Structure 1
């Protein structure tokens, strides 16, 4: 008897590998949009879970940003039920700012925030210990290139982790074309989200194409044309290598922060301890200290960390430094103090 198609087998192997640490009886949810990636993940999980003693359901998030989205969500949910997933939850969400989003991240960030909040809530409601996401190697390559364009440093270039808290990504080693092949082999009817098109209905605030959509349709094909088909796997390998390096640096930076920390709240740091450290560790420790003091994670950028580092390594009497989230950094008598203030300037 012939075995499964190689791409079907690869998807199932990815699920087994990523969930291998879970005990029998653990429940997981597949985040399914109805696209080829998430339907492949749903089918692979529905096959693997009962054989390994896990319970598997699904959650479909309806962003309600385009006509017919409810019908697409119901169709995705029905396919998940036919695959044998239970429970199957459909969660409509409200995306702040609609199809143009709001804030610096635009509609992509607004939709992502709403989606992850709904997935987190659904996991809690269903008693799930993990939510499986259908990101592929192509998504990883796009993430690395977006991080490179932002100049966000090695951690951003490390892309998405296979396992991070509640989130697990079993298909990160597979190409998008492989998931489409899986759907054809298994007879799954997947949809193509127009939001993923550079000419689709979702636009940035200035009316231009969304960054990831433009990257997917225009930049990556141009890179493949110039550098060859190996560029996407190479970007994936780069992300994996940088993630390993970043994990080590983060652990060392955590140790540095522990040694420099004199008290909290407010967060007080020993400048001498920080000043003697390598800049790669010092800047990581300072970023963690700023977050510990209450700085806004989404707004704390490299420029803020660099300015904070200058107060330690290139001090020439700088005054108080304002960080996003109402945190002020002040150096005095060999101590760097990071204190959160209320709206009236009180610590």
Structure 2
């Protein structure tokens, strides 16, 4: 008797490895939009979870951005229940706030998934990002002029969130969906050129493939993996510098709205570590991550390395950084 199609076997194998690493009694919740990637992941979890003696469930989020979205979310939930997944949760969210529609939708979606995971704790949320999604993320980071952490792309694991399919290309995952007999729903936003990720997917990456040859997505994903290892090491070292600059005070023992940092340890440190500490301090003080740019961090850095008695630096979120008595202070 022949086994499953190679694409189905690849997706199931990826899921099997993740489920094997979960602590006992953990519920594996698939985040499913109804698209081919997340449906393939749901089908693999439905197959593998009982064999791993794990509970397999799912969550689908209704962003309310299209007419009939509630009915669509309900239909996706019916498919997931038909696969044998339980529990299956449908969450309606309100999308809004700073950073554009893509960022706002992402924040709302993760809040909903956090809530469902908390309800079924201990739980892990499995996301269907593929190697191609990783490549797109790296290109978007390059376009923003981001640092190594952003260019390192998406991590295979981040707290309760797991990405079993990051090493598989989109074509393989979508073939698996088809071979499982699942009929996906394609979100029209995925092909809407108003969205940056859509332009990268349908224009930028194909153009790079035509110009430089095949294998661009794999190369970008490989670069992300190497950069992530470097960024992890730098972040660990920056954490030590952050503690030293705070004079050993714990994070909870800070003067609102943000920490005070000793200039001495910062001035003696490498720029790659110092700027990480300054960004962390600004975020702790209340600067929105989406609004805090490299230019802001450079200006704070000048208070350490090029200080000539200059005044404060105004930062996003109504935060002000200034130097006084050998310390950097963040205040409203």
Query: TM-score normalized by structure 2?
Result: 0.93
Structure 1 distance, partners of 2:69, 2:282, is 40
Asked if residue 299 in structure 1 is aligned to residue 291 in structure 2, the reply is yes
Structure 2 distance, partners of 1:183, 1:298, is 35
Q: Secondary structure at the match of 2:261?
A: strand
Checking the alignment, whether the CA contact within 8 Å between 1:64 and 1:70 is kept in structure 2 is: yes
**Match in the other structure for 1:131:** 125
**Match in the other structure for 1:281:** 273
**Match in the other structure for 1:203:** none
Deviation per CA, 1:88-146, whole angstroms, max 9, x where unpaired? Answer: 111122222xxxxx63x322112111111111111122334211111111111111000
Gaps of 5+ in 1: 97-101, 200-208, 342-347
Checking the alignment, whether the CA contact within 8 Å between 1:40 and 1:179 is kept in structure 2 is: yes
Structure 2 distance, partners of 1:167, 1:291, is 23
Structure 1 distance, partners of 2:60, 2:283, is 32
**Match in the other structure for 1:329:** 321
**Match in the other structure for 1:92:** 92
The 5 Å alignment of 1:220-299 reads: 220-262=205-247, 264-265=254-255, 267-299=259-291
Structure 2 distance, partners of 1:63, 1:289, is 33
Q: Secondary structure at the match of 1:300?
A: coil
Structure 1 distance, partners of 2:179, 2:5, is 8
158, 164, 183: which one pairs with 1:164?
Answer: 158
Structure 2 distance, partners of 1:291, 1:212, is 26
Structure 1 distance, partners of 2:219, 2:276, is 26
Structure 1 distance, partners of 2:32, 2:273, is 39
**Match in the other structure for 2:307:** 315
Q: How far 1:78 moved relative to its partner?
A: 1.5
Checking the alignment, whether the CA contact within 8 Å between 1:265 and 1:293 is kept in structure 2 is: no
Q: How far 1:310 moved relative to its partner?
A: 0.9
Checking the alignment, whether the CA contact within 8 Å between 1:89 and 1:122 is kept in structure 2 is: yes
Query: TM-score normalized by structure 1?
Result: 0.90
Asked if residue 188 in structure 1 is aligned to residue 182 in structure 2, the reply is yes
Checking the alignment, whether the CA contact within 8 Å between 1:24 and 1:52 is kept in structure 2 is: no
Task: Quote the RMSD (CA, aligned, Å).
Answer: 1.5
Structure 1 distance, partners of 2:104, 2:114, is 16
Asked if residue 44 in structure 1 is aligned to residue 14 in structure 2, the reply is no
Q: Secondary structure at the match of 1:325?
A: helix
Structure 2 distance, partners of 1:192, 1:55, is 27
**Match in the other structure for 2:71:** 71
Checking the alignment, whether the CA contact within 8 Å between 2:19 and 2:52 is kept in structure 1 is: no
